[in-house]
């Protein structure tokens, strides 16, 4: 599913139709549809490229969080109350907030490091980048946990999928979170990235004309399927009656008591020959329980993101009598555990099995199968409740399949995340009033109902987040569809000369209107300014001021016609020159326009991200943030289209012909850089993005590059200088200047006169 989304984005970054992978998006049938359309709906898909490097800054900022103290949970919310600590953590929303004391201490640390000037404020507009780095470092230390959210493997930070428990190598969080975690763990810090293209699963799958799916746990999300995707949920009855015994949860005061009870349950059921699958929510929990079983001398298998190589073997034999398997969510969704083990896997492992050998294996398996059925079937133990009831139901669904016997029980403690963050005060009060002794648990239907209510509360919160994300992304999606449609029309067209002519006429009208407004008096006309604008945009020298002085009958319309006629003559002269050099002008125009479209779209996405991050502040001005976002994003989009038009005419007016050797070298270098530097992202919902390195599909480019001086494209054969072949890498306009000033190249040594 991730790669389908990435293919869609890559297709809309291709330069030729032959580089595209997907066909039309007509029909889609999604397996485990709730996992894709619900669990991962908050996760944007992002293709990103390299941004400016700031590795040293992450390392410096990483020294600050260990020197700060976290605010303990306090109930005092009176005005003027100042908590004792430097920062507070909102675990429900995964956010960090500095206190007044913490703000002062961070400023002192930054001043001591030389990153902040004496007397300067961290919240000054010029220091917002530092504030962003500080928040990323605090989140890395206080919110993102090793062996829960990520693991360190081969000196790399590898994300662990919260829904499947699987490692996601190559994926990266965005907004500096991943770099901050790398600094925290002391592994090499990779460069930051900049968004090149993005979408969400919600908007991608809604592009399909017909959408359907299947899963065993969709009924609890029927409302969201109907509201977001316009899909009805139909429950199909089981083929055989369900005889699985789902026991009430056992709730303990502490995690230690909970694990002791789990071990005792495993010992008892293992003694009667019952296979046991223990589901944990994190790598950390699976390893902790594994060490407890090792201490008791209980043989078991562990299946998590660190030990995924044996997944097929472990799952195949997890149904054998007395087998204990500890697994993260990897063994939840879609895993079929055969009672007695898999005889087919046993046969497959034999070198040259005969018919007699196969019969013997099947006979032994039948004996084991009947023994497991007699012992009560597969027993599922959950070490804690997940935020979503669907994930718990997926774990429970590993037992009692196809009418087989089985049993399930969840062991909880008041220190579990769900209970600590979302459970009501009623449960806490009940646990305290009962006065439980050490090792005792409470088992009551009221507790189960309260836990289910806490999960509903989390699911409701997550639904609001997904809905909110969709409402904002719908705005960007409308713009995305316009840009992608324009790209496709450009690629499908064999000749875009008419489009270029139309763009040229529109830009000329805009320029004339800027300097000689309609229905204005002569005193308001700026002929000199229009001359300079024509030189900048078209590389065309036209004596507008002199024309206006010499001919008083000139109006805005007649002046526009005269300017247009001269520019058309210059363009025709250039096309004749290109024809002499056997250059395909039509192909060059298409490739140039596609490149400009991509560059401007990338910059537009960055501006949209900045707008999105700060738009909530409009609420303080009694304005609706979503309405303001729609209004301002529309203005940005109008500006984007105008910039694309002006860039196209500016570039085409300044292109010059280069030798085939130079073009081939530039193409080779571009492909190498693309393969080394392109990243594909899939961010985490709350903060984030994830990235996967992958080479970009190859593209054709026009045999033309930008000229460096005014009127370079108009030079005749006699006056044209010798072809310049660059020996080093060309510095991009938005890359750091090589002089080391820290500024972007376009604002330093690459600044245009």
One domain for residues 184 and 309 = no
Residues 688/177, Cβ–Cβ less than 8 Å: yes
CATH number reported for the structural domain that contains residue 640 in this entry = 1.10.3060.10
pLDDT higher than 90, residue 610: no
Residue 567 lies in a domain: yes
- Cβ proximity of 318 and 332 under 8 Å: no
- Residue 61, classified by CB atoms within 10 Å of its CB into exposed (0-12), middle (13-18) or buried (19+), is buried
Which tokens in the block code for residue 543? 């004596």
Do residue 454 and residue 506 come from a single domain? no
Distance (Å, whole) CA 60 – CA 109: 10
**704 against 513, higher pLDDT:** 513
* Per-residue pLDDT tens digits for 128-176: 778 888 999 999 999 999 988 899 988 899 998 877 777 888 778 877 8
Final residue belonging to a domain, choices 197, 213, 231: 197
CB 633: neighbour CB atoms within 10 A?
21
Low-confidence winner among 181-195, 322-336, 450-464, 490-504 (lowest mean pLDDT): 322-336
Cβ–Cβ < 8 Å for 682, 690: yes
CATH code assigned at 132 = 3.90.1440.10
Per-residue pLDDT reduced to its tens digit, 89-108: 887 778 888 888 888 899 88
Share of the chain above pLDDT 70, in %: 80
Mean pLDDT of all residues in 66-79? 70
CB-based contacts of 220-227 (< 8 A; 24+ apart in sequence): 220/389, 220/390, 220/393, 220/459, 221/34, 221/38, 221/390, 221/459, 224/38, 224/463, 224/466, 225/37, 225/38, 227/467
In a domain, 573, yes or no: yes
Q: Model confidence at 300, in pLDDT bands (50, 70, 90)?
A: very high
DSSP labels, 549-572: HH-TT--HHHHHHHHHHHHHHHHH
Q: What is the pLDDT of residue 1?
A: 58
The count of C-alpha atoms lying within 13 angstroms of the C-alpha of 261, restricted to the half-sphere facing its C-beta, is 24
Q: Which of 442, 462, 482 is the last residue of a domain?
A: 462
Residue 730: what pLDDT?
Answer: 60
Which DSSP symbol is given to 83?
A: -
- The sheet carrying 150-153 orders its strands as 150-153, 156-160, 167-168
- Torsion, Cα 266 272 273 274, to 10 degrees, reads -50
- Closest by CA to 148, choosing from 288, 309, 2, 334, is 288
Which stretches within 552-659 are classed as H helix? 556-580, 585-614, 625-654
Element (H, E) at 68: none
| Tokens of residue 592, six digits | 């140039």
Average pLDDT, the chain: 79
Instruction: State how beta strands 210-214 and 245-246 pair.
Output: unpaired
In angstroms, the CA 615 to CA 629 distance is 7
Pairing state between β 150-153 and 324-327? unpaired
Which H or E run contains 325?
strand 324-327
Overall average pLDDT of the 369-389 stretch: 89
Neighbours of 2 (CB within 10 A): 18
Is 84 within the bounds of a domain?
yes
Residue 672 has a pLDDT of 63
- Confidence band of 122 (pLDDT split at 50, 70, 90): confident
Q: Determine the pLDDT at residue 64.
A: 92
**Is residue 392 included in any domain, yes or no?**
yes
Q: Is residue 640 domain-resident?
A: yes
- What's the longest Cα–Cα distance across the chain? 108
**454 and 503 share a domain?**
no
What span, in angstroms and rounded, lies between the C-alpha atoms of 563 and 443? Answer: 86
Average pLDDT, stretch 489-498?
Answer: 86
User: SS3 of 312, please?
Assistant: helix
pLDDT band at 696 (very low <50, low <70, confident <90, very high): very low
Query: Distance between alpha carbon 134 and the CA centroid of its chain, in Å?
Result: 21
In this prediction, what percent of the chain has a pLDDT beyond 90? 19
Model pLDDT for residues 395-415, shown as the tens digit of each residue: 888 888 888 899 999 999 888
Confidence label for 635 from pLDDT (cuts 50, 70 and 90): very high
Instruction: Count the Cβ atoms, other than its own, within 10 Å of residue 371.
Output: 16
CA–CA separation, 329 vs 467, rounded Å? Answer: 25
The answer to the question of residue 127 being in a domain is yes
Per-residue pLDDT tens over the stretch 651-677: 887 766 655 565 566 666 656 655 554
Same-domain check for residues 308 and 453: yes
Residues 157 and 264 in one domain: no
Higher pLDDT, 522 or 592: 592
- The answer to whether residues 519 and 650 belong to one domain is yes
Q: Do β-strands 324-327 and 301-303 pair in parallel, antiparallel, or remain unpaired?
A: parallel
Q: Is the CB of residue 218 less than 8 Å from the CB of residue 236? A: no
Report how many domains make up the chain: 3
- 569 Cβ contact list (under 8 Å, min separation 6): none
Integer-rounded Cα radius of gyration of the chain:
32
| Domain identity same for 75 and 149 | yes
Output the pLDDT for position 306.
76
DSSP notation for 663-718: HHHHHHHHHHHHHHH-EEE---TTT---EEE-PPPP----S-EE-SSTTGGG--TT
**Residue 528 has what pLDDT?**
78
State the CATH number of the domain containing residue 409: 3.40.50.300
pLDDT over 50 (residue 615)? yes
- Phi first, then psi: give them for residue 49, nearest 5 degrees: -120, 180
DSSP-derived letter for residue 188 is P
Statement to judge: residues 58 and 180 lie in one domain: yes
Per-residue pLDDT, 426: 65
Cα–Cα distance for residue pair 594/14, rounded to 1 Å = 9
Confidence of residue 275 (pLDDT cuts 50, 70, 90): very high
CB 659 within 8 A of CB 550: no
| 735 vs 544, residue with greater confidence | 544
Per-residue model confidence (pLDDT) at position 420: 74
Query: At 727, is the pLDDT very low, low, confident or very high (cuts 50, 70, 90)?
Result: very low
- Helix, strand, coil fractions of the chain, as percent rounded to 5: 50, 10, 35
DSSP state of 165: -
Q: Both 422 and 528 in a single domain?
A: no
> What is the reported pLDDT for 144?
92
Residue 707 has pLDDT above 60, yes or no: no
In this prediction, residue 482 has a pLDDT band, given cuts at 50, 70 and 90, of very high
Give the structural domain span for 578: 493-658+703-722
Compute the distance between CA of residue 515 and CA of residue 556 in angstroms, rounded to an integer: 10
Q: At what angle do helices 445-492 and 222-229 cross, to 10 degrees?
A: 20
What token pair was written down for 139? 């989140």
Residues 286 and 147 in one domain: no
Q: 598: which 2 tokens? A: 């991509």
Write down how long the chain is.
753
C-alpha angle 571/577/579, rounded to 5°?
Answer: 105
Q: Are 612 and 479 in contact (CB under 8 A)?
A: no
CA distance 547 to 479: 41
- 411: nearest Cα among 391, 431, 383: 383
Q: Which tokens in the block code for residue 273?
A: 């020959």
User: 400 and 263, same structural domain?
Assistant: yes
Q: Which range (180-184, 645-649, 721-725) has the least confidence?
A: 721-725
Q: Using CA atoms, how far apart are residues 157 and 169, in angstroms rounded to an integer?
A: 9
Calculate mean pLDDT across residues 176-180: 89
Residue 83 in any domain: the answer is yes
Q: How far apart are the first and last CA of the chain?
A: 48
Tell me, yes or no, whether 318 lies in a domain: yes
CA angle, 274 then 278 then 280, to 5°: 175
Other Cβ atoms less than 10 A from the Cβ of 189: the count is 22
Say whether both 452 and 513 belong to one domain.
no
Pairing of strands 245-246, 406-413: parallel
Residue position matching structure tokens 């789990």: 262
């Amino acid at each position: 599913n991730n790669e389908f989304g990435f293919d869609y984005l890559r297709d809309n970054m291709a330069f030729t139709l032959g580089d595209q992978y997907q066909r039309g998006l007509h029909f889609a049938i999604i397996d485990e549809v709730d996992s894709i359309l619900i669990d991962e709906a908050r996760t944007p898909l992002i293709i990103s490229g390299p941004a400016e490097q700031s590795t040293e800054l992450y390392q410096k900022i990483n020294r600050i969080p260990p020197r700060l103290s976290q605010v303990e949970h306090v109930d005092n919310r009176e005005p003027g109350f100042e908590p004792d600590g430097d920062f507070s953590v909102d675990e429900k929303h995964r956010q960090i907030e500095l206190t007044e004391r913490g703000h002062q201490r961070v400023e002192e640390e930054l001043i001591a490091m030389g990153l902040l000037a004496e007397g300067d404020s961290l919240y000054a507009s010029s220091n917002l980048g530092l504030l962003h780095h500080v928040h990323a470092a605090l989140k890395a230390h206080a919110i993102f946990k090793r062996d829960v959210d990520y693991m360190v493997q081969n000196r790399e930070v590898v994300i662990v999928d919260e829904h499947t428990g699987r490692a996601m190598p190559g994926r990266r969080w965005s907004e500096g979170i991943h770099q901050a975690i790398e600094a925290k763990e002391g592994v090499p810090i990779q460069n930051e990235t900049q968004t090149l293209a993005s979408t969400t699963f919600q908007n991608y799958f809604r592009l399909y004309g017909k959408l359907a799916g299947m899963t065993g746990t969709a009924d609890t999300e029927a409302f969201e399927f109907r509201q977001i995707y316009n899909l009805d949920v139909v429950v199909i009855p089981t083929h055989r009656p369900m005889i699985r015994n789902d026991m009430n949860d056992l709730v303990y005061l502490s995690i230690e008591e909970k694990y002791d009870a789990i071990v005792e349950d495993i010992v008892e059921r293992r003694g009667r020959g019952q296979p046991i699958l223990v589901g944990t929510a994190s790598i950390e929990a699976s390893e902790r329980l594994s060490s407890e079983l090792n201490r008791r001398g209980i043989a078991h298998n562990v299946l998590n993101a660190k030990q995924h190589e044996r997944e097929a073997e472990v799952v195949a034999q997890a149904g054998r009598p007395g087998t204990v398997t500890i697994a993260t969510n990897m063994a939840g969704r879609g895993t079929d555990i055969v009672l007695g083990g898999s005889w087919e896997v046993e046969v497959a492992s034999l070198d040259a099995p005969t018919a007699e050998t196969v019969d013997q294996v099947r006979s032994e398996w039948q004996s084991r199968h009947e023994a497991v059925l007699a012992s009560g079937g597969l027993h599922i133990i959950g070490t804690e409740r997940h935020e979503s009831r669907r994930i718990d139901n997926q774990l429970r669904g590993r037992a009692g399949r196809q009418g087989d016997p089985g049993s399930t029980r969840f062991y909880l403690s008041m220190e579990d995340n769900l209970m600590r963050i979302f459970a009501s005060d009623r449960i806490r009060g009940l646990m305290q009033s009962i006065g439980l002794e050490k090792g005792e648990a409470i088992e009551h239907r009221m507790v189960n109902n309260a836990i289910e209510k806490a999960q509903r509360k989390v699911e409701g919160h997550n639904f609001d987040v997904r809905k909110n994300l969709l409402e904002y992304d719908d705005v960007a999606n409308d713009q995305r569809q316009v840009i992608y449609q324009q790209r496709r029309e450009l690629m499908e067209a064999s000749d875009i000369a008419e489009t270029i002519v139309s763009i040229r006429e529109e830009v000329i009208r805009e320029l004339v209107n800027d300097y000689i407004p309609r229905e204005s008096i002569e005193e308001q006309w700026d002929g000199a300014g229009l001359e300079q604008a024509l030189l900048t945009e078209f590389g065309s020298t036209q004596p507008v001021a002199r024309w206006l002085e010499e001919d008083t009958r000139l109006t805005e319309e007649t002046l526009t016609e005269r300017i247009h006629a001269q520019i058309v003559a210059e363009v025709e002269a250039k096309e004749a020159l290109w024809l002499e050099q056997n250059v395909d002008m039509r192909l060059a125009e298409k490739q140039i326009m596609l490149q400009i479209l991509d560059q401007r779209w990338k910059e537009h996405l960055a501006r949209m991200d900045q707008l999105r991050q700060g738009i909530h502040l409009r609420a303080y001005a009694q304005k609706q943030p979503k309405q303001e976002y729609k209004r301002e994003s529309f203005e940005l989009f109008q500006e984007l289209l105008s910039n694309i038009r002006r860039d196209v005419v500016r570039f085409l007016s300044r292109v010059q012909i280069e030798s085939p050797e130079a073009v081939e070298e530039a193409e080779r270098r571009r492909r190498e850089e693309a393969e080394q530097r392109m990243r594909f992202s899939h961010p985490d919902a709350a903060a984030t993005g994830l990235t996967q390195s992958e080479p970009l599909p190859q593209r054709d480019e026009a045999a033309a590059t930008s000229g460096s001086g005014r009127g370079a494209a108009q030079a005749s054969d006699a006056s044209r200088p010798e072809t310049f072949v660059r020996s080093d890498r060309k510095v991009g306009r938005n890359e750091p200047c090589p002089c080391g000033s820290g500024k972007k190249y376009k604002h330093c040594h690459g600044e245009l006169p």
